[in-house]
Structure 1
Amino acid sequence: MESELSKLNEEIIYLKDHFEFLLANRDSLLKFADYDKYSFDGAFSSNTPKNPKKLSSVVILNTTPDYDLAMKNVLVTNALDSLFDQTSEKYPIIAQVYFNAIDQVSRVFPAYDAKALLDPNLDLTTFNFFYQADFNHNPKKGPVWIPEVYIDPAGRGWILSLVHPVLEGDKLYAVLGIDITVEEIISRYLESKEGEYLIVNSKGDIVGGKAAAIEALSFPPLLNHVYIETISADNFRISDFNLFNSKNREVREMALSIILKKQDHFLFEDEFSPDAAYAIPFTFLDWYLIKIETKTP
């Protein structure tokens, strides 16, 4: 699982390098720009997800300090559409590829119904998928996996994001992002694996897992919260499925042993609890893969 996800680190660096090349050659690119590729209805590009052309959803939010300059940056970055498409085709696990810029330009591939879902008065720089990659949070200016999953407002359930800053000269211009659905992670890596597994983050939130593993720890089934809502605030997940908040004392002790004490196993004693839990930390994510051994009847 980690070996495949780690390839996305290389991919987002590849995208970043191309993005910065476009910015460095903006004057030359503007001379040959395709001014007809996108038309706009207010803040939003007028193309829809049903458009047969492989276009992104492009938005210039009302909070942009300079609309004309932002529009020029849209023209300069139009070439990213084909790169985003190639990345999506290369890695089927990817849900979307995008960037959000300091001038309040957003480009998301594949296209979605941005007009219905996005408040045009937002400040993109206040969202975790932007500021987690800024120089304060990411002084090394490299790829960053955001450990907290969040509910995707476009209706794809829990989302895991990889982000990377894009520089123009020595200044931050944009943040690239690659999103993966947790549902895809579970179905790809856990469902076919024998045994009862779950994934938790360093705060004790259950990111996902097999139903039997989650229910064995006295939690109800973890639904893949899929619904539509307007993007209006930071998307950090507030979890109702946190090991430290469990009503089961031994589950809380398990979380303490594995997450805080860094032990690789925990043995349960209560007859209504599972038999044991075995944990392996992820290398590049602050997550833990936990196998739950249930009592045999």
Structure 2
Amino acid sequence: MSQLKWICFFFSVGLSLFGCATPEKELQSKNFDKLKALIQEMESEGELMARQLDTVVQFYSYLLTKKDSILRNPLPNPYSYQGAFSTNIPGEDPKLSSIIILNSTPNRQKAEKEVVLTNALDSVFMEFKKNNPLAVQIYSNSFMQVSRVYPAYDSKNIVDPDIDVTKFNFFYEADLEHNPKKGLVWIPDPYIDPAGKGWILSVLHPVYDGSELFAVLGVDYTVGDIIETFLNSVEGEFVLVNAKGDIVAGKSLGIKALSLPPLKNHVYRETIQSDNFRISDFNLFNSKSREVRRMAQDFLLQKNDRFIFENEPNLKQAICIPFPTMGWFLIEVFPNS
């Protein structure tokens, strides 16, 4: 073959290889950009909510500084009680919360005064919920065992009045021991909501009266809403996991492809005895697939961003990006076409 023909041959092969590699590289870049955009959207929503929750905390703290004057000249109290529970019915008055003065309160009379002191929270809670449609509820749980939840719900038929609210993660994760900076705290693990909302994620903020922890404010989001609002808005099979490999949320086909059980929206309507985290079946390290377990190690422990499946007949590859501010990872899996 002449020198000119050799040059033409190698040039044509080079063009062919370049033409094949470029679309693949561009596709990978687009897929990673898609994950980054999803993460940015979720974190932006969280930051906006955090700023608005901070205004609620400031108002709550203001009420505590005016404690003496508010209790000296109290406004009419819209709440009456049957045992531990306020008697207002959900939906009856949209301006009211559900109030529970748990039987574990050390001082019932003082707890009732606390309700009067904090009744102004109702209007602030209502405004927060209006401005944050993804928030299913906003609440305060106090050290005096007073629970205020907006909007009102059927608390009497759901909550055991004998529980100690300070023993639950949606309280103690914000206390001084777990949150010495006294700031905003995300609970990164999904858990079953005691108000019957199913699998939820919570963000918490402590409220201090001087140096004493007075209450913990919380906002809940359902896993289902996160899937519907964010993950279902973009084409692809996504799974959101925490640093331990527990699935926070995910599309059903993506979860199934990773050899995990179907994800169901469990509803908890029994007496609460302890924290209720997602069972270990929904953890990547407990997948039935050895390669999926290797993928989890690659992504979560070794911090790699791409995994190629070799022995999974239904999976080709997966990519992963960590959240900048939360201990979560967003994974996209690519089934074989």
Same fold (TM over 0.5): yes
Does structure 1 conserve the Cα–Cα contact (< 8 Å) formed by 2:191 and 2:275? no
Q: Among 178, 183, 188, which residue is 2:224 paired with?
A: 183
CA distance in 1, matches of 2:319, 2:159: 42
1:242 and 2:289 are equivalent in the alignment: no
Q: Among 84, 87, 90, which residue is 2:125 paired with?
A: 84
CA displacement at 1:165 relative to structure 2: 0.5
- Please name the residue that 1:135 is paired with: 176
**Can you list the C-alpha shifts for 1:61-87, whole angstroms capped at 9, x where unaligned?**
111111111111110100000000000
5 Å matches for 1:103-118? 103-118=144-159
1:207 and 2:251 are equivalent in the alignment: no
CA displacement at 1:221 relative to structure 2: 2.2
Q: Among 235, 238, 241, which residue is 1:197 paired with?
A: 238
- Please name the residue that 2:163 is paired with: 122
- Please name the residue that 1:45 is paired with: 86
Does structure 1 conserve the Cα–Cα contact (< 8 Å) formed by 2:227 and 2:249? yes
Does structure 2 conserve the Cα–Cα contact (< 8 Å) formed by 1:118 and 1:232? no
1:74 and 2:115 are equivalent in the alignment: yes
- Please name the residue that 2:3 is paired with: none
**Structure index of larger Rg:** 2
Aligned-residue Cα RMSD (Å) equals 1.3
Residue 271 to residue 169, structure 1, CA distance change in 2 (3 Å): closer
- Please name the residue that 2:192 is paired with: 151
**Can you list the C-alpha shifts for 1:180-230, whole angstroms capped at 9, x where unaligned?**
011111100011201111111111111221111111112232111134223
Task: Decide which moves more: 103-112 or 30-39.
Answer: 30-39
- TM-score, normalised relative to structure 2: 0.85
Residue 100 to residue 142, structure 1, CA distance change in 2 (3 Å): same
CA distance in 1, matches of 2:94, 2:79: 11
CA distance in 2, matches of 1:112, 1:259: 38
Unmatched segments (≥5 aa) in structure 1: none
1:174 and 2:219 are equivalent in the alignment: no
CA distance in 1, matches of 2:113, 2:167: 23
Residue 285 to residue 19, structure 1, CA distance change in 2 (3 Å): same
CA displacement at 1:152 relative to structure 2: 1.9
Task: Decide which moves more: 11-20 or 172-181.
Answer: 11-20
CA distance in 1, matches of 2:254, 2:277: 24
CA distance in 2, matches of 1:204, 1:271: 20
CA displacement at 1:271 relative to structure 2: 4.2
Higher relative helix content: 2
Query: Which one-letter code corresponds to 2:278 in the other structure?
Result: R
Query: Which one-letter code corresponds to 1:14 in the other structure?
Result: T
Does structure 2 conserve the Cα–Cα contact (< 8 Å) formed by 1:19 and 1:77? yes
Query: Which one-letter code corresponds to 2:108 in the other structure?
Result: Y
Percent identity between matched residues is 53
Unmatched segments (≥5 aa) in structure 2: 1-41
Does structure 2 conserve the Cα–Cα contact (< 8 Å) formed by 1:127 and 1:235? no
5 Å matches for 1:201-280? 201-280=242-321
Residue 189 to residue 116, structure 1, CA distance change in 2 (3 Å): same
CA distance in 2, matches of 1:9, 1:284: 13
CA distance in 2, matches of 1:217, 1:236: 20
Does structure 2 conserve the Cα–Cα contact (< 8 Å) formed by 1:276 and 1:293? yes
Task: Decide which moves more: 287-296 or 138-147.
Answer: 287-296
CA distance in 2, matches of 1:193, 1:164: 31
Query: Which one-letter code corresponds to 1:50 in the other structure?
Result: G
Relative contact order (alpha carbons < 8 A, sep ≥ 6): 1 or 2 greater? 1
CA distance in 1, matches of 2:309, 2:53: 42
1:100 and 2:141 are equivalent in the alignment: yes
Task: Decide which moves more: 196-205 or 79-88.
Answer: 196-205
- TM-score, normalised relative to structure 1: 0.96
CA distance in 2, matches of 1:177, 1:36: 23
- Please name the residue that 1:288 is paired with: 329
5 Å matches for 1:19-34? 19-34=60-75
5 Å matches for 1:8-19? 8-19=49-60
Aligned residues: 296
CA distance in 2, matches of 1:104, 1:250: 47
